[in-house]
A and B are shown apart, each in its own frame.
Chain A
């Protein structure tokens, strides 16, 4: 049973966003890392790049699969988790601790389009 954390917002493509003030930390859910298997590479955007809700901003690769990362929110990348460059397996170990990018949100109302923990848990059940 995949772990879902309260207080985060989730997308149907299994990204989450954790809000801290004007910023959102974006990563992939526990369900997503399970489905992918051993992550061997995370393709991340550069700081100052813009990401747009619903558009891809990178990819997560395992040995036999690759999955695009779809931004759950729109904004500017202010930080990326460089630890993932050397240790992509961190995503398997704890995907919620190990966010992928930090985004300065341009429109907080976009969060309304995402699921809360309960809705997402139900979504994964399906």
Chain B
């Protein structure tokens, strides 16, 4: 990453008459779209030569930080290494050139990859069938909830409109339920961060016949394994509801326990988390949905073809590269890395819940908060030292949440370096709090004015120009 901002917009590099393309000549004769059907004004797109475009985006990339740049302990996002071979496989022209409506006899290889990937996912999760149609984790959640709703409807059980989620759940859970026409009720957590079984019992007693499903991550958003899961799943099933597994935190379970064996009926997997496909600055990901036997006929049509097929290809290449010998080490090594960081930092950062965590854990800010240095400040100071920040202010259970997730790919040296810096920041917070509060200092830009952006939204170049004049 650069510490100098590359600031031009491509529009600002445009000069009339330049071109960055070359097209074949028109040898079809003079066919022209009638003027009455044409747009009045050309789209004001930039006009640049090819190298200008290449330099522009290369320079932009230098203002970014990715997993390949350094440690990226962003909790709940599983920023693991994205193997390069996967990229090459996904770009093979024998696959990338396939039209999705080509006859089946011309796409046997592509179909085989989908089948093999689904089979592998079934094996790794203990479920019976997968669909690759969902494009992302949130899309998978929605798809899974649709399966559940259809299942109840198929039994004439139309009154089930409630979904129980723990109060620590990802924000997508309630939002997906709402899109699916379901309502959320929250179940409280105990002080140790896991689901309050007694509270759940009361909710089920009160709402039982209206409950469609319970949605959980396991480990939960605090990185804690819900050890009561056998009891919970039985209680939920006893009232006729289904168990939904939010696969956001599946990584530590590879080699340890399978959602199907825990009693879950429906789940999604974020291939961009557990199965190493790149996050791409926010997508494309993929969110395959798996179900217990008997539910596969309820898969809804949430996308037209085979989902993000090229993402699925990467995930399958990853599974093959690891093989059965190594895939079972993913969870334990990720878990080891997380626990190691936690143990090495808990004397200077507030650890609200003691004990073993899984792939991630949450600190509630600095232990010594006397100088007013917040989690936001710590996060920003980490950027100065060349690390990505952890997830901050989530989960909402604590005021100063700092959620750290190292993956299995991080070496002890990398982790030790991170620990040293975290300790140093804790020290700076005491000796020179202003330095931390005004961080970052070494990044291309400083802290941004969120209020200005939201109050007068300028979201296009056209608006930007109008605003200047």
Contacts and interface: CB of A to CB of B under 8 A. Distances in A.
Interface string B446-461: 0000110011000000
A61 interface: yes
A75 interface: no
Top 3 A-B pairs, shortest CB-CB distance:
A40-B454, A63-B450, A40-B455
Interface residues of A, number: 8
Nearest to A38: B451
Interface in B424-463: 450-451, 454-455
A37 B466 CA distance: 29
A101 B115 CA distance: 58
A41 B456 CA distance: 9
Contacts of B451: 38, 40, 63
Contacts of A64: 450
Secondary structure call for the A interface: loop
Nearest to A41: B454
A63 B455 CA distance: 9
A88 interface: yes
Contacts of A89: 455
A64 B455 CA distance: 12
A71 B428 CA distance: 48
Nearest to A88: B455
Interface string A39-75: 0110000000000000000000101100000000000
Contacts of A40: 451, 454-455
13 contacts: A38-B451, A40-B451, A40-B454, A40-B455, A41-B454, A41-B455, A61-B454, A63-B450, A63-B451, A63-B454, A64-B450, A88-B455, A89-B455
Contacts, number: 13
Chain B's interface size range is under 10
Contacts of B455: 40-41, 88-89
B439 to A, nearest CB: 19
Nearest to B454: A40
A88 B456 CA distance: 10
A56 to B, nearest CB: 15
Contacts of B450: 63-64
Interface in A15-43: 38, 40-41
A40 B451 CA distance: 7
B459 to A, nearest CB: 14
Given A38-B451, A40-B455, A64-B450, 10 more contacts: A40-B451, A40-B454, A41-B454, A41-B455, A61-B454, A63-B450, A63-B451, A63-B454, A88-B455, A89-B455
B390 to A, nearest CB: 17
Interface string B368-391: 000000000000000000000000
A59 to B, nearest CB: 13
A64 B392 CA distance: 13
A56 B450 CA distance: 26
A63 B448 CA distance: 12
A61 B450 CA distance: 12
Nearest to B449: A63
Interface string B43-76: 0000000000000000000000000000000000
Contacts of A41: 454-455
Q: Which of A40, A64, A89 counts the most chain B CB atoms within 10 A?
A: A40
Contacts of A63: 450-451, 454
A61 B325 CA distance: 51
Interface string B162-194: 000000000000000000000000000000000
Interface string A88-110: 11000000000000000000000
Nearest to B451: A38
Contacts of A38: 451
Interface string B219-252: 0000000000000000000000000000000000
Interface in B2-25: none
A44 to B, nearest CB: 16
Contacts of B454: 40-41, 61, 63
